[in-house]
Amino acid sequence: MSDTIVPSVAGTALDPGTVAAAPRRTPWWRPYLPVVVFAAVLTVLPFIGLSNRHIHLAVVCLIWTIAAYGLFVPYAFAGQMTVAIVTAWGVGAYATGIAIKYWDWTFVPCVLLSIGLGFLAGMIMALPILRTKGHYFVIITFVIAEAVTVAANNWDVTSGAGGGGMSVSQSISLFGIDFGERRNMYYLCLALAAIVALGVTWLRGSRFGKHLASVRENEELARSIGIRTTWLKIVVLGVGGGITGLAGTLYAYYLSHIAVNEFGVNRAITLILIVVVGGRMSVLGPFVGAAIAYYLPELIDLDPNRVLIAYGLALGVIVILLPTGVIGGIEGAFDRIRRRRRTPTTEVAS
Amino acid sequence: MQEFLQQLVNGVVSGSLYSLIAIGVTLVYGLTNLINFAHGQVVTIGAFTAWSATTSGVPFALAVVIAAIVGGLVSVAMERGGFRFTRANPINGFILSLGLIFVLEGVMVERYADTLHRIPDPTSGVFRAGDVQISYQRLIVVGVALALTGVLMSSLKYTRMGRATRAYAEDPDTAALMGVNTERVIMAVFVVGGALAGVAGSLLLSLFGVTVTLGAAFVVKAFVVSLIGGLGSVEGALIAGIAVGLAETLGSAYISSSWTDFFGYVLVIMVLLVRPSGIFKGSEGAHV
């Protein structure tokens, strides 16, 4: 999985005899390949005899993956960490719930509504960045997430009767296929997750993505050459909100019940865990992170409280020992092995 | 009028506790740029240490001291075992602190069930000033909080260690060149912050009772307070803590009690719109 390696001439400049050869260009589809292959592998998952419970876990896992992309985009591309991303998830879920309950909307308009509102919510919650940045901004997003939870708990539409939440009693039906059936839902979520992952890959290579990288690497420098960094940060946090809003729709449809307190800071911490475990340098990181953070504890059937302890320890260990995440760690190990095999001229050439 | 004064007093009581918790947050940030969200768990641990101590017969005053010691130890253990390694990259430290929230809260849930734990009032009696009534316990809480803050502020100003701390906050490299033992300064700040959090936890226990999940709510308050006061400023934390306490009690008394937490959040967002780095930051020289 070398999707993090920037196209470079390192591969061709190795042999002193072929130095004159022009650097091989990476074909345009190369960055998308890992995502396509990975998604293709996942399509066979329901055929290897998994029980219903495992399909269910896989669906929830994919929804978490999509939500994690909403945090991945601002964090990995522009270095903007936000706790309030979980609020965008709640906005998406509740927009869906309300649209179904009061206006009887169907799936596609709900998705569009959630993405739109998630995008707006992300942008609005990014507005403090006009006045603060860095650490102050992270804390402010924490405060915003808490404040919205208080507000939602006090609004009887969202908190439900006696704070019991809201039921979403509609199942997805598209092109005559009933996605209430678990296996179909799995393919729908997989398709959407793959589309999001491909979109994210495209975004990274685009002009916008390169500007974001400049914000991440050196904001002052980026600003000095005329990049509107503040605006970029607001937009990228909006994009993250939109992606997470999509996860909100799927979540509301699939679990058919949502409650305000689910979308609290704990969920944000789990999302951060997913992104950090998967590795912020790898586009497939959220898939792997969600599988590790969500699927693994369910597989070994831990007591929920112990799961939290394990999450916390995992987060600590990974942050300290494996700062690039699991995928980053594997890639790093591969690189070291590869480098050991090469002749010392490699070092000079690269 | 009488009710207003009563609310004012209540606001100062909870505000002084907010200040006590916020000092640890703000001091640590001032020195290491670390956003330590696990600080709230130190409050919880302090509160439950005091609960265990008092229910097994230890007098409350001694229980507070034990809670302070345990809080300081837990806090410095987090630094030695974790934050020491993330010092170069404070965002990783922030993520680590989120992990520590899960670990410490999970352990506390295992040890103590998630129910309200209370102790019998350590003192009885009510102080009356006109129509306003204040229980002695509340007076003690405010007194202890203000006294500890005062001691901390003057020792930052006048003692050798305090001067070293301020020097480190100003410029770590130069301070190290001048012979300041920087590791010791950082550890000392974690110990002091943790001890104050432990005291705050045991005082909370004596007033309202505690649950194992209270840490998260209080650490958010502590950050609200620190942001208003300016991250790194102890006097800022003191004043902002009382301001937030007043905003919450007055807001919940005169507007709506189910929105209590909201008023502090609104206050911080409004303050930051006007003064992005807090009220007390950047107005004068060194701040710790």
Backbone angles phi, psi at A165, to 5 degrees: 90, -160
Q: Which amino acid is at B275?
A: R
**Exposure of B190 by Cβ count < 10 A (0-12 exposed, 13-18 middle, 19+ buried)?**
buried
Q: Residues 6 or more apart from A205 whose CB is under 8 A from it?
A: A31
B266 reaches A (C-beta below 8 A): yes
Cβ distance B29 to A138 less than 8 Å, yes or no, reads: no
Look at residue A22 in the predicted model and tell me its pLDDT.
Answer: 59
Which neighbouring-strand residues pair with A258?
A166
B94 CB neighbours in chain A (<8 A) are 81, 135, 138
- How many domains does chain A contain in total? 1
Residue of B nearest to A277 (CA): B95
Domain range for A197: 16-349
Domain segments of chain B: what residues?
2-274
Taking only the tens place, the pLDDT of each residue in A229-238 is 888 889 999 9
Q: Indicate the class that CATH gives domain B2-274.
A: mainly alpha
Helix (H) or strand (E) holding B106: helix B90-111
Q: What count of Cα atoms within 13 Å lies in the side-chain half-sphere of residue A5?
A: 14
Residue with tokens 């898939």: A287
DSSP state of A19: T
Look at residue A235 in the predicted model and tell me its pLDDT.
Answer: 92
pLDDT at A177 over 80: no
Higher-pLDDT residue of A163, A58:
A58
Cβ distance A312 to B103 less than 8 Å, yes or no, reads: yes
B82 reaches A (C-beta below 8 A): yes
Look at residue B68 in the predicted model and tell me its pLDDT.
Answer: 95
CA distance A340 to B24: 47
B259 reaches A (C-beta below 8 A): yes
Mutant choice from B83, B103, B275 vs A, greatest count of A C-beta within 10 A: B103
Mean pLDDT of residues grouped by 10 in chain B (288 residues)? 84 92 90 88 94 91 94 94 85 86 89 85 79 83 92 91 88 88 91 94 90 85 87 88 90 81 82 75 44
Lowest mean pLDDT among A201-215, A288-302, B10-24, B205-219: A288-302
Look at residue A13 in the predicted model and tell me its pLDDT.
Answer: 43
B283 reaches A (C-beta below 8 A): no
Whether A9 is in a domain gets the answer no
A150 CB neighbours in chain B (<8 A) are 259, 261-262, 265
The whole-model pTM stands at: 0.80
Residue of B nearest to A147 (CA): B262
CA distance A75 to A81: 5
Cβ distance B107 to A150 less than 8 Å, yes or no, reads: no
State the CATH number of the domain containing residue A321.
1.10.3470
Look at residue B82 in the predicted model and tell me its pLDDT.
Answer: 86
B276 reaches A (C-beta below 8 A): yes
pLDDT at A2 over 60: no
Look at residue B149 in the predicted model and tell me its pLDDT.
Answer: 92
Mutant choice from B33, B39, B112, B265 vs A, greatest count of A C-beta within 10 A: B265
Q: Residues 6 or more apart from A15 whose CB is under 8 A from it?
A: none
Look at residue A23 in the predicted model and tell me its pLDDT.
Answer: 63
Whether A329 is in a domain gets the answer yes
B80 reaches A (C-beta below 8 A): no
Residue of A nearest to B107 (CA): A309
Look at residue A10 in the predicted model and tell me its pLDDT.
Answer: 43
Residues listed for chain A: 350
Mean pLDDT of A116-137: 83
Whether A256 is in a domain gets the answer yes
* Angle in degrees, 0-180, between the axes of helices A325-341 and A265-278, rounded to the nearest 10: 10
Whether A2 is in a domain gets the answer no
B275 reaches A (C-beta below 8 A): no
B269 CB neighbours in chain A (<8 A) are 128, 140, 143-144, 147
Whether A3 is in a domain gets the answer no
Residue-averaged pLDDT of chain A: 80
Cβ distance A319 to B86 less than 8 Å, yes or no, reads: yes
Look at residue A342 in the predicted model and tell me its pLDDT.
Answer: 65
Residue with tokens 């964090």: A75
B107 reaches A (C-beta below 8 A): yes
Whether A6 is in a domain gets the answer no
Whether A248 is in a domain gets the answer yes
pLDDT at A12 over 50: no
CA distance A194 to A200: 10
CA distance A138 to B35: 9
Taking only the tens place, the pLDDT of each residue in B108-156 is 988 888 888 888 888 777 888 777 788 888 888 999 999 999 999 999 9
Cβ distance A143 to B89 less than 8 Å, yes or no, reads: no
How many angstroms separate the CA of residue A102 from the nearest CA in chain B? 26
Mutant choice from B33, B37, B95 vs A, greatest count of A C-beta within 10 A: B95
Tokens standing for residue B132: 């306003």
Percentage of chain A with pLDDT > 70?
A: 86
